[in-house]
Every structure is written in structure tokens, then in C-alpha cells.
A and B are shown apart, each in its own frame.
Chain A
Amino acid sequence: NAGVTQTPKFRILKIGQSMTLQCTQDMNHNYMYWYRQDPGMGLKLIYYSVGAGITDKGEVPNGYNVSRSTTEDFPLRLELAAPSQTSVYFCASSSGRDRDYGYTFGSGTRLTVV
């Protein structure tokens, strides 16, 4: 049971480059989320999705885009990378019954923009 899989684990980007962070879950969860974790700042929600074809902004969406064409996949796109996007990114999924089960998280992608 793989759970939530994120790739890559590490990446260094130059300012202005673009990349896609991949996230796949095999639990048939409808809800998926992207968070960024900055040192001493906890986790901030970037985007989330309540099902295939439906996405919405979280607290810090600027500079990012998402799509949800299937239940399993929820990629996060960074266009024109900036140093402020240096962070650790976590993808998570849930069944929607979060009051009982909480979220399942991936192991994260550590991104450095130089």
C-alpha cells in the first residue's frame, strides 16, 4: 500500500525556471491538498481539490497552478520560480471523513530556487 507518493524528493531550480511536482495516491481519496512548509512557520495550504476536475485556492496560491484530471493525480506547477518558493512541499489526501481519519501525507519535495 503506497499511500501518497511525491516526486522528486529534491530539486534545485534557477530563478525563472518552471517545474511540476508530482503527487499520486492509491487510496481512492476524493480530497487532495498541497502544503508548503517553511522553517518555523508550520504548514500553509497552497491549493486543494475535492475531486477530479475541481480545484480551489488555499492561503498562499500565488506563483502556483494545479490540475486534477484523475482521482489519483494532483500535480503542482511552478511557473517562473522565485527564491521565495524555496520550501518543502507536501501533498496530502483524505477521504473527506477527516474528523475521524485525518490526512495521509507524502514524504515531501525539498525545493531550492537559486
Chain B
Amino acid sequence: GNSVTQMEGPVTLSEEAFLTINCTYTATGYPSLFWYVQYPGEGLQLLLKATKADDKGSNKGFEATYRKETTSFHLEKGSVQVSDSAVYFCALTRNSGGSNYKLTFGKGTLLTVNP
């Protein structure tokens, strides 16, 4: 079946540091890949996505590239801010039959950015 593996957290960085959160996946065919972000006390929000190999998703200074050869979708940001402190989830979706797609999530990585 489909699965997503994220690096274990928590991750603690100083402001303006470089961020990488690793994500690898197992799926047949060509899944779409997503990063969701969950700020404290809130629901999940879509951060970025990529729908085919070599696509780069980007938003709010975050980037991730769909690497089919390494089955990876690592999240990066060049200079983190305190406001980036949140839990980050990697996810994939595949057609599960008919037209219904269901998301499979990683366990989440807690990021704390200190001033």
C-alpha cells in the first residue's frame, strides 16, 4: 500500500537558519505529493504540491521537488522565521478507484524556530 516516511522531530532552529525536512514515499504509479502545515491550535493548510516527476512546488519561501528516482519530496526553506514554527506533514494521494482520491499522511515533523 501507499506510505509516507518523514524525518523524526522535533526540529529546533534559530531564525534565518536553513531548513530541510526529509520525506520519502512508497506508492505505485504516479502519486501527487503535498506538504501541509499545521499552526498551533489550527487545522492543516495546504503549503505546496507537485503532481509529476521533477515538478517543484513552492509557497511562502518553502520549496520541494518531486524526485521519482529517489521517491522523495524534501521540504526546504533558505531562511526560517519564528512564524514558521508549526507541524509539517508530507502527504500523497493516489486514485483509490473510481474518481476518489484519498490522502496518506506522514507522522508530521514539529518545527520550532527561536529568535
Binding site for B on A (CB under 8 A): 4, 31, 33, 40-43, 45, 48, 50, 58, 90, 92, 94, 96, 98-103, 105-108
Q: How far is the CA of A92 from the CA of B46 in the complex (A)?
A: 12
Of the four ranges (under 10, 10 to 19, 20 to 34, 35 or more), the interface on chain B belongs to 20 to 34
Residues of B in contact with A (beta carbons under 8 Å apart)? 32, 34, 36, 41-46, 49, 51, 89, 93, 98-103, 105-108
B51 near A48 with CB under 8 A, answer no
Q: Is the CB of A42 within 8 A of B100?
A: no
CA distance A48 to B96 in the complex (A): 12
Q: Which of A58, A99, A106 contacts B51 (CB 8 A)?
A: A99
Q: How far is the CB of A5 from chain B (nearest CB, A)?
A: 11
State in angstroms the CA–CA spacing of A103 and B43 once bound together: 11
